[in-house]
Structure 1
Amino acid sequence: MNALSIPTWMIHVSSVIEWIAAIWFIWQYGEQTRDRVWWGLSFAMLPALVSAMCACTWHFFDNPQSLEWLVTLQAAMTVVGNCTLMAAGWWIWRSRDKIADSETPASTPKEV
């Protein structure tokens, strides 16, 4: 555990806790609104959480060569997480676009 200083550990651990809380709050928002796009966003956040946990685990054991595969897994989960978050953002954007279209009143024919 000597690989990182205490303040750096505090940042790492608090970031993971904050990410877990964000996932939970977004899920709860989806529950309240019954809007699936928010559930999708919370699922899309999971690969980034796995990435962060890989980094914390590797540092916790003092960055040993035997756990070098965690670095590769972290990198892969970062890429996957970025892609899933991009897809979730696109899904949210598209759903808002559809809501805006459905709220626009249909044009009425003009009287002659």
Structure 2
Amino acid sequence: MHALSIPTWVVHITSVVEWIAAIWFIWVFAGVTGHTAWRALSFGMLPSLISAMCACTWHFFDNAESLSWLVTLQAGMTVVGNSTACLAAWWIWRQAKTSQDSVEG
């Protein structure tokens, strides 16, 4: 656990907590507003959360060489997370456009 300073640990841990809170708030927002397409964003954010947890785990164990596979998993989950968040944003846009078209039509 000596791999990071205490302020850096604070940043890492609070970032994970913030990400969990954001996922939850988006999920609640979808339910309150009835715009369920936003739930796709909650799911799309999960791979990025896994990525962050991989980084924290690897650092917790002092960047142990035996856990270097976590770095690869983190990189992969970052790519997947960016892609799923992008797809979720497209889905939200598409649903909003469809709703707008039906109101105008």
TM-score, normalised via structure 1 length: 0.91
Identity across matched positions, percent: 64
Residue 41 of structure 1 pairs with residue 19 of structure 2: no
Q: State the distance in 2 between where 1:16 and 1:26 align.
A: 15
Q: State the distance in 1 between where 2:15 and 2:33 align.
A: 27
Moved over 3 A (4+): none
After the TM superposition, which residues 58-77 of structure 1 pair with which residues of structure 2 at under 5 Å, given as runs?
58-77=58-77
Q: State the distance in 2 between where 1:35 and 1:102 align.
A: 15
Q: State the distance in 2 between where 1:30 and 1:70 align.
A: 32
Q: Which runs of 5+ in 1 are unaligned?
A: 107-112
Q: How many residues align?
A: 105
Offset at 1:82? Answer: 0.5
* Cross-structure match for 1:29: 29
Larger Rg belongs to: 1
Q: State the distance in 2 between where 1:18 and 1:25 align.
A: 10
Offset at 1:68? Answer: 0.4
After the TM superposition, which residues 30-109 of structure 1 pair with which residues of structure 2 at under 5 Å, given as runs?
30-104=30-104, 106=105
Q: Deviations over 1:55-109 (max 9, x none)?
A: 00000000000000000000000000011000000001111111111111x4xxx
Q: Deviations over 1:7-57 (max 9, x none)?
A: 000000000000000000001111112322111110000000000000000
Letter in 2 for 1:74: Q
Letter in 2 for 1:20: I
User: Which deviates further from its counterpart, 92-101 or 47-56?
Assistant: 92-101
* Cross-structure match for 2:6: 6
Q: State the distance in 1 between where 2:6 and 2:23 align.
A: 26
Residue aligned with 2:68, SS: helix
When you count helix as a share of all residues, which structure comes out higher? 2
